[in-house]
């Protein structure tokens, strides 16, 4: 890989077949025949979790495949969704200070109704799951969640294979 000095406006990559790819802006590359090749952007997941241990676990598991944003209560989550259209999925704890996950989910769905929100809770009661779905959550995971189960649910909403 060779780059020009500066802000990496132009990058040259060589593919396995020896052909050269020259980058343009926005992750677009052109091959020798000047055909555009789009490199997919990393999906962005907002983790909304007030418990630091749970938050760090989710971040550790997900940061391998996704760009991570963080919020530590529902109010912060709503603000982040308002300010950042790049968020592709939200993992939402339900029991938090300031604003709980139920209220935050309902507010987020008013801002971006198609944004997938996965509830993440220590309570395995069907009543809480029903309440989360009614608030607008698309799915529900019980803590502690295993890595494979978490990635399977995320892949369902982001249409990508995260289980390599």
Residues 34 and 75 in one domain: no
Residues 28 and 73 in one domain: no
Instruction: Give the domain CATH number at 62.
Output: 3.40.50.2300
Neighbouring C-beta atoms of residue 3, cutoff 10 Å: 13
DSSP letters for 100-129: -HHHHHHHHHHH-TTS-EEEEES---HHHH
Its pTM stands at 0.73
Residue ranges making up the domain that contains 71: 44-158
User: Token digits for 161?
Assistant: 């294979």
pLDDT at position 24 is 41
Contact yes or no for 39/28 (Cβ under 8 A) = yes
What is the β-pairing status of strands 28-30 and 36-38? antiparallel
Asked if the structure places residue 163 within a domain, the reply is no
Q: Tell me how many domains the chain contains.
A: 2
pLDDT means per 10 residues, the chain with 164 residues, are 41 39 43 48 91 94 93 97 96 93 96 95 80 93 89 86 43
pLDDT at position 126 is 77
């Amino acid at each position: 890989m060779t780059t020009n000095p500066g802000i990496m406006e132009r990058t040259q990559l060589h593919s396995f077949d020896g052909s050269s790819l020259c980058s343009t802006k926005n992750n677009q590359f052109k091959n020798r025949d000047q055909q555009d090749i789009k490199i997919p952007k990393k999906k962005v997941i907002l983790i909304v979790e007030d418990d630091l241990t749970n938050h760090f676990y989710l971040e550790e598991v997900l940061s391998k495949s996704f760009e991570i944003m963080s919020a530590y209560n529902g109010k912060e989550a709503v603000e982040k969704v308002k300010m950042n259209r790049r968020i592709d999925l939200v993992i939402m704890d339900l029991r938090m200070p300031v604003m709980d996950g139920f209220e935050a989910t309902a507010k987020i769905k008013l801002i971006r109704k198609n944004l997938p929100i996965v509830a993440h809770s220590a309570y395995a009661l069907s009543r809480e799951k029903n309440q989360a779905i009614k608030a607008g959550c698309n799915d529900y995971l019980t803590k502690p969640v295993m890595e494979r189960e978490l990635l399977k649910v995320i892949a369902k909403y982001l249409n990508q294979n995260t289980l390599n």
